[in-house]
Amino acid sequence: MDDDLLLPCPFCGGRAVFDVSDKGYVSAECGECGTRGPGFKSSDGYELARNHWSARNADDLSSKGLVVVPIEPTDAMLIAGSRSGFPGRVWRYMVEAAIDEEER
């Protein structure tokens, strides 16, 4: 499937490409920052990878309590995590910082 069918990265605007792992899982990933969608190993793996990459901001993800965040935490995420004050809140603070960055 053509990489041009993938939307740009939601975090950096980089060009997204399909990747096939050694074990045959197809995923979409950003060629710039490395953000990666979930991998699929099936005959329609490219279609599923594209749909999940394109639906990254869609209501169907948020309704399941899911968001896509960078593989490597951003500076804003690390600062937010360090300010959380309680270990149980670190992840929530970091994800909220990632969402704030995406909405900017």
Find the part of the chain contacting Zn ion (CB under 5 A) among 11-19, 40-48, 58-66, 85-93: 11-19
Minimum CB–partner distance for residue 80 and Zn ion (Å): 20
Q: Say which residue the tokens 């999940």 belong to.
A: 52
> What angle do helix axes 90-103 and 75-82 make, rounded to 10 degrees?
140
Handedness of CA 71, 3, 54, 50 (dihedral sign): negative
Q: Read off the tokens for 68.
A: 């896509």
Minimum CB–partner distance for residue 31 and Zn ion (Å): 8
Backbone φ and ψ for 26, nearest 5 degrees, come out as -95, 130
Minimum CB–partner distance for residue 40 and Zn ion (Å): 20
Binding mask 20-49 for Zn ion (x = CB under 5 A): ----------x-xx-x--------------
Residue from 42, 46, 44 nearest 28 by CA: 46
Q: Read off the tokens for 42.
A: 């099936």
Minimum CB–partner distance for residue 15 and Zn ion (Å): 9
Size of the site for Zn ion (CB under 5 A): 8
Is residue 14 within the footprint of Zn ion (CB under 5 A)? yes
- Residues in contact with Zn ion by CB under 5 A are 9, 11-12, 14, 30, 32-33, 35
